Amino acid sequence: MSSEDKEAQEDELLALASIYDEDEFKRVDSAQGGETRICLELPQNFKIFVSGSPTECLQNSGFEYTICFLPPLVLNFELPPDYPSVSPPVFTLSSKWLSRAQLTALCKHLDNLWEENRGCVVLFAWMQFLKEETLAYLNITSPYELKMCHQEDGQSRTSLFPVNSELDCCGAAGAATAQEEILDERAVQDVESLSSLIREILDFDQAQQKKCFNSKMFFCSICFSEKLGSECMYFMECRHIYCKSCLKDYFEIQIRDGQVHCLSCPEPKCSSVATPGQVKELVGEELFARYDRLLLQSSLDLMTDVVYCPRPCCQTPVMQEPGCTMGICSRCNYAFCTLCKMTYHGVSLCKITAEKLMDLRNEYQEADEATKIFLEQRYGKRVIQKALEEMESREWLEKNSKACPCCGTPIEKLDGCNKMTCTGCSQHFCWLCMGSLSRVNPYKHFNDTSSPCFNRLFQAVNVDGDFWAAEDED
């Protein structure tokens, strides 16, 4: 290697390292060579269209995607000792989304660029051509078509080409086989299958968009400050942007209050909702677990065929079979009635606890005829009637009696003085102030001048036009 060639190579590699970042240019330490990853500048609203072959069953076949970035072209090169004075760089050009025919055309153009600049360093010119002119040179426009091609030997070759491409190498199987003879060995198509290609394109596009977002400045309309995109987050649907600190406080308050469906964009009248991944990124593990649990529970509550195990220590969701009132918990194996939540009782009527009689009575009185018939079939007419009668009795007692201050037994005063004796526990008490009286001298309460009921032993109390009178047991 002449000193001039060595110096030119070193200067070129140093220049490339200073122009491009590590993601775009990497120098190999073991030899005079390296790798460049060239991302093309795509026009706005660039689309790719997925179309599989008739023998393929792809879930995302027939879909169109709008992307901002495609996976890079990879140019691996090694500099011969007599470069650039005599020989060009030795290289391979690979891509995940170009056919080998398209890559062959690019390889030939790189050779032409070398011939035009023989004796001079050429790597920068190659990289600029690939970055800025590949789409125009290959006559590539939106939309692209992702398509799997098949050879006569049964092997598959994945190619991506535009609808109006003049370099369509995926025609008849015979034509594809004939083209193998003229394809450049330096052209490498780095793809396993159409489904993996789609996944890699979409993942790369998302990663690059996030990288660009993180490097820009954005204004948060909550804290009224400008922050880097790496400190911000945007809602997927509306693209409104806020800083992570403000959204974190906002999400945590809503989750603690149990409002897991209210994690929406703070912009007025905007209905965009944060994704679970965004929530997980901002809040701690404990709060996210609560959010995840409440979100699942609220979703299950909307499903008419899902009930919960009534055991307080379990509460596992249970699928209910249509037309069946029996539920069996998959966790604790408890068999229960899905109507009354008690132990499964077969065709017998549902039993109801005393605490729920009032609810049943209110539900029955407010129900339409169809619902009343359903309740009568579920609990029985006698239970319904009992609930109505018991509630009427309770209302009458609340209106016409007072509870003993000692045992709570309802006491009705018909006549007599205001010194009462409970029929349940025999405790003496005052009907006026409901205070307990001495068993030895119960009348002292009415004779003591300091008592609030002094000289009121026979005073009647008028309530709603009726006179309450106490039975005098003297």
Find the farthest-apart pair of alpha carbons in the chain and give their distance in angstroms, rounded: 135
Distance, in Å, from the CA atom of 167 to the CA atom of 140, rounded to the nearest integer, reads 9
CA–CA separation, 373 and 361 (whole Å)? 14
Q: Exactly one of 417, 422, 430, 453 is catalytic; which is it?
A: 417
Among this protein's residues, is 417 annotated catalytic?
yes
**Can you give the chain as a three-state secondary structure string?**
CCHHHHHHHHHHHHHHHHHCCCCCEEEECCCCEEEEEECCCCCCCEEEEEECCCCCCCCCCCCEEEECCCCCEEEEEECCCCCCCCCCCEEEEEECCCCHHHHHHHHHHHHHHHHHCCCCCCHHHHHHHHHHHHHHHCCCCCCEEEEEEECCCCCEEEEEEECCCCCCCCCCHHHHHHHHHHCCCCEEECCCCHHHHHHHHHHHHHHHHHHHHHCCEEEECCCCEEEEHHHEEECCCCCCEEEHHHHHHHHHHHHHCCCHHHCECCCCCCCCECCHHHHHHHCCHHHHHHHHHHHHHHHHHCCCCEEECCCCCCCCEEECCCCCCEEECCCCCCEEECCCCCECCCCCCCCCCHHHHHHHHHHHHHCCHHHHHHHHHHHCHHHHHHHHHHHHHHHHHHHHCEECCCCCCEECCECCCCEEECCCCCCEEECCCCCECCCCCCCHHHHCCCCCCCCCCCCCEEECCEEEECCCCC
- What the block records as the tokens of 218 is 């954005």
Residue 39 CB neighbour total at 10 angstroms: 16
Assess contact for 437 and 449: CB atoms under 8 A.
Answer: no
Residues annotated as catalytic (active site), given as ranges: 417
